[in-house]
Amino acid sequence: MRKDISLDLSKAAGFVGDEAIKRYADKTAECNAALHNGSGKGSDFLGWLNLPKEITEGQLSEIEESASVLRESCEAVVVIGIGGSYLGAKAVIEALSSSFDWLVRERKSPVVLYAGQNIGEDYIYELQELLKGRKFGIISISKSGTTTEPALAFRLLKTQLEEQQGVEEARRLIVCVTDKRRGALRTLATQEGYKTFVIEDNVGGRYSVLTPVGLLPIAVAGFDIRALVEGAARMQERCADGVTYEDNMAAQYAAVRNALYASGKKTEILVNFHPKLHYVSEWWKQLYGESEGKEHKGIFPASVDFTTDLHSMGQWIQEGERTIFETVISVEKMRHEVRIPANEANLDGLNFLSGRRVDEVNKMAELGTMLAHVDGGVPNIKITMPELDEYCLGELIYFFEKACGISGYLLGINPFDQPGVEAYKKNMFALLGKPGYEKETEEIKKRL
């Protein structure tokens, strides 16, 4: 039997008291039920709820087959996408890869690179330079199929691939993940005859990591998507409708973070002690930021990588404004073992550590930091992952998704839309003079 991820609220609950938590805890069952019976806000976007248990053998095999084509033919695969269309894949791939993946010479898997997640001209130039003369493939991901950043990157990289490999071979090395019918990417894929995967209408971008959006790039990188889905399915059971509050870690996390928010803790900092988890935090920030930041409400999701950031943000967290709480992702078991050697001269004074593992030092830094921050007035929620593997990451992903749905309903907002994201796009199109935006162009120019 696998050991599951777990939640410890003992260093957070005292900051708000049992009564305050109970007020939210009592509502979590209702919120969880609303997710499952579709009676809450945004009920058109609840397809993610059952993804782990509904995904079929056929769907998994199709993803693995498509990944094999890219794995066998490419040195590098560029995942093109932004927001929910790349962050989940990147989070899992970085968490499971060697920290020095770039420098590994004898690779078993293609290097996974990313594009379309920014519009930096130097970034795309440097990527194109790197890909010159190399055999590469493209996974182009856009649910709407109309997002500017990935569309621009796809135009550039598709052209380069066709020039380098010829149109026919490029066609074999391009896979698109998009809407079943709508959008420019669907039209293009149909016209060109690319292999495609569908993002169902009822799954929003930031809840899509357990669809081909996340699973295909993760499989290309050589990781076990079946174990990832198995972990997520386990968490689906653990947080299902009807599971009591005492047994439902998603409900507990949602209740406590809302109680903390109501008490004035406006910022939640997701903390890790392993740099490989950096992009898990980026994925989490998007999930919670885009889901909850509405109607002038919502916890601000921030993140730090410790112990690195203890030497920068550590001061602020220890003694700055007391409006924060921390959620720490703690990993129990390391994949590798490194022991500290003895040294005769002992000039660095570290002989008291000789023979002990580096992870023991890290764990004591983690414990010491938690106690110091709690003493400094920072509530601390702890999530323990037994290992950093596919199964535990699957559990973690579904846990955060489910908690986000419940938490959004506790807050009274729609956790499944993102109306605020449109504002910058409208201005950008007006400033660029996009056809159809003439009136907006005229208006925005007056403001300059």
- 319: annotated active-site residue: no
Q: Which of 3, 22, 180, 425 is catalytic?
A: 425
The mark string for 87-126 relative to ligand PA5 (x by CB under 6 A, - otherwise) is ----------------------------------------
Strand order in the sheet with 195-198: 111-115, 76-80, 136-142, 174-178, 195-198
Footprint (CB under 6 A) of ligand PA5, residues 414-433: 418
In whole angstroms, give the CA distance from residue 162 to residue 141. Answer: 19
CB of 411 to ligand PA5, least distance (A): 18
Q: Does 83 bind ligand PA5 (CB under 6 A)?
A: yes
One of 110, 137, 204, 394 touching ligand PA5 (CB under 6 A): 204
Distances from the Cα of 141 to the Cα of 12, 367, 388, angstroms: 39, 40, 26
Strand order in the sheet with 267-272: 6-11, 380-387, 324-333, 267-272, 300-305
Q: DSSP letter at 41? A: T
Footprint (CB under 6 A) of ligand PA5, residues 288-307: 290
| Nearest residue to 272 (alpha-carbon basis) of 183, 385, 193 | 385
CB of 129 to ligand PA5, least distance (A): 25
Q: DSSP letter at 339? A: B
Which of the ranges 83-91, 105-113, 377-385, 400-408 carries the binding residues for ligand PA5, by CB under 6 A? 83-91
- 294: annotated active-site residue: no
What would the DSSP string read from start to end of 292-335?
A: H-BTTB-PEEEEEETTGGGGTTHHHHHHS-S-EEEEEEEEEE-S
- 3: annotated active-site residue: no
One of 28, 32, 109, 142 touching ligand PA5 (CB under 6 A): 142
One of 85, 117, 252, 272 touching ligand PA5 (CB under 6 A): 85
Which of the ranges 93-101, 120-128, 131-139, 199-207 carries the binding residues for ligand PA5, by CB under 6 A? 199-207
Q: Is 254 exposed, middle or buried (0-12, 13-18, 19+ CB in 10 A)?
A: buried
CB of 84 to ligand PA5, least distance (A): 3
Which is nearer to ligand PA5, 87 or 324 (by Cβ)?
A: 87
Asked if 110 and 220 touch (Cβ cutoff 8 Å), the reply is: yes
Footprint (CB under 6 A) of ligand PA5, residues 336-355: none
Cβ-Cβ contacts under 8 Å for 251 (sequence gap 6 or more): 25, 28, 29, 31, 32, 239, 243, 245, 403, 406
One of 49, 82, 176, 430 touching ligand PA5 (CB under 6 A): 82
Residue type, 363: K
Q: Does 205 bind ligand PA5 (CB under 6 A)?
A: yes
One of 40, 110, 150, 212 touching ligand PA5 (CB under 6 A): 150
Which is nearer to ligand PA5, 11 or 143 (by Cβ)?
A: 143
Distances from the Cα of 97 to the Cα of 90, 120, 216, 222, angstroms: 10, 25, 16, 9
Which is nearer to ligand PA5, 28 or 303 (by Cβ)?
A: 303
Residues forming contacts to ligand PA5 in the complex (CB under 6 A) are 82-85, 142-144, 147, 150, 204-206, 290, 418
Which residues are annotated as catalytic? 290, 311, 425
